[in-house]
Amino acid sequence: MGHNTGHLIRRLRTADPRVVDTGIAVLVQLAVTMPFVIPRTPQLPPVSWAAYGMTTLGVLPLVWRRKAPITVLAAISAAQFLYKAVLDGPGQPMPYAGLIAVYTVAVLSPPRPRLAMLVIAMPVITIGVRLNTGEVRELLFTLFVFFGAYVLGRSRLRAQRVEAEQAAARERARIAREMHDILSHSVALMVVQAEAGPIAVRAAPERAEAAFEAISETGREAMTQLRRILGVLREDAPGSAPGPREPQPLLAELPALVERVSGSGTPVSYATTGEVRPLPLDVQATAFRIVQEALTNAVRHACASRITVRLGYGTDVLALTVTDDGRGPAGGAAVPGHGLIGIRERAVAHGGTARTGPGPGGQGFEVAASIPLVESRQGVGS
């Protein structure tokens, strides 16, 4: 039940505001309709379509509450006053529409309109109570619910600001991981290739040419991926063209990655097990980055003669391992730097796990991660 509630809240947060506001208006209309359909005592005057129509006019402005909060509050208040002054219809237990309008003003309006609302509210509420019962008890209760709605709105605004700051921090951390993965992988390959270049020039000139071409290709690929990230950062700038929300490397790009690493001088084998099929884009991006960082770690630290990459497509989990036959933990490959920490963070972010340590039989080094295959809001890629 908790999962369903959380899913519903996420759906509401991402829904079209006009749809949400229309739904709120419909719910309020249902609430204020109850006194008209519930049988009344004989002492009370019968209900009328005019009274019901005026009640509806006091609810309808909620559809535009985000566009003009103050205007909507004024329209709802005027309809409620007219209802009390002209018509003798069923009374409402709570001014639902008015309270939602006050909440909206507290959340969306700038300081001056909010202050004006608070100043005007006192005499308006007092007059409204006099038109109804005139009792001090009703006045105190009305003031309580009015300021309660206002305080709730201001609290929600502060919560939204905290959520925005937390989202910005998470996005900065994500971009930092992306840039670390791209730069560390590309620079590690370029360093290995550049160090092998002078030796190849003396021993096998034709290999030197291939090494320099590989350096150039790796550099171009790094620049392309960095431009993708910078494009996301510039996305909201005035006059900028819309682009994808975030760079999304796909698992289909893994063979090219393996080929580039093999071109640096360390052979890499790549194989898959299970039914290879399209996966959610965020899962593909995470799996790609984990493999990329594991290969970078092996090339940079392990002095391996061979690296093996395996992807296992399970029914409900994607398992991946990157194993090398290098120096292993004693050689420094297991030092928990940003790369290995980033691998664990990426796996945990998807509800998965990651293990780094000695390879099979205690030889070499292995990165093993599992990512649950659950429904992703980002869709499925090809």
CATH number at residue 278: 3.30.565.10
Q: Which of 150-164, 209-223, 344-358 has the lowest mean pLDDT?
A: 209-223
| Chain segment 173-227, per-residue pLDDT in tens | 777 776 777 677 677 777 776 766 666 666 666 666 666 677 777 776 767 666 6
Residue 165 lies in a domain: no
Domain count for the chain: 2
- Residue 251 contacts residue 282 (beta carbons within 8 Å): no
275 and 211 fall within a common domain: yes
Residue 119 lies in a domain: yes
Q: In this model, does residue 334 exceed pLDDT 50?
A: no
Q: In this model, does residue 278 exceed pLDDT 50?
A: yes
| Chain segment 235-273, per-residue pLDDT in tens | 554 444 444 444 567 899 899 888 888 877 788 999 999
| DSSP 8-state assignment for residue 362 | G
Q: Which of 42-51, 127-136, 276-285 has the lowest mean pLDDT?
A: 42-51
Q: In this model, does residue 365 exceed pLDDT 80?
A: yes
80 and 179 fall within a common domain: no
366 and 245 fall within a common domain: yes
> What confidence category does residue 330 fall into, taking pLDDT thresholds of 50, 70 and 90?
very low
Q: Is 73 left (phi over 0), alpha (psi -120 to 50) or beta?
A: alpha
Who wins on pLDDT, 171 or 366?
366
Q: In this model, does residue 290 exceed pLDDT 50?
A: yes
Average pLDDT value over all residues in the chain: 79
Q: Which of 134, 162, 182 is the last residue of a domain?
A: 134
Residue 223 lies in a domain: yes
101 and 202 fall within a common domain: no
> What confidence category does residue 333 fall into, taking pLDDT thresholds of 50, 70 and 90?
very low
Who wins on pLDDT, 210 or 75?
75
Q: Which of 110-119, 267-276, 320-329 has the lowest mean pLDDT?
A: 320-329
Instruction: Give the residue among 147, 380, 209, 157 at the shortest CA–CA distance from 282.
Output: 380
pTM listed for this prediction: 0.51
Q: What is the torsion angle, in degrees rounded to the nearest 10, for the CA atoms of residue 73, residue 78, residue 79 and residue 82? A: 160
Contacts of 50 (CB under 8 A, 6+ apart): 87
Who wins on pLDDT, 279 or 43?
279
> What confidence category does residue 128 fall into, taking pLDDT thresholds of 50, 70 and 90?
confident
Residue 234 lies in a domain: yes
Q: In this model, does residue 72 exceed pLDDT 90?
A: yes
186 and 125 fall within a common domain: no
Which tokens go with 368?
Answer: 């093993």
124 and 194 fall within a common domain: no
pLDDT at res. 92: 67
217 and 126 fall within a common domain: no
Residue 147 lies in a domain: no
Residue 156 lies in a domain: no
Q: Which of 111-115, 205-209, 310-314, 327-331 has the lowest mean pLDDT?
A: 327-331
pLDDT at res. 323: 93
Residue 254 lies in a domain: yes
105 and 215 fall within a common domain: no
11 phi, psi to nearest 5 deg: -65, -40
- Residue 61 contacts residue 76 (beta carbons within 8 Å): yes
CA distances from 328 to 37, 297, 356, 362 (A): 77, 11, 10, 8
Percent of the chain beyond pLDDT 70? 73
Which tokens go with 117?
Answer: 């609302």
310 and 191 fall within a common domain: yes
Residue 149 lies in a domain: no
Range of the domain at 44: 2-134
Mapping DSSP onto H, E and C, the string for 253-295 reads HHHHHHHHHHHCCCCEEEEEEECCCCCEHHHHHHHHHHHHHHH
37 and 118 fall within a common domain: yes
**Spatial separation of the C-alpha atoms in residues 271 and 124, rounded to whole Å:** 74
Averaged pLDDT for residues 327-335: 49
Q: Which of 114, 134, 154 is the last residue of a domain?
A: 134
Q: In this model, does residue 121 exceed pLDDT 50?
A: yes
pLDDT at res. 176: 72
106 and 247 fall within a common domain: no
Q: In this model, does residue 30 exceed pLDDT 60?
A: yes
pLDDT at res. 332: 44
110 and 182 fall within a common domain: no
pLDDT at res. 90: 76
pLDDT at res. 32: 86
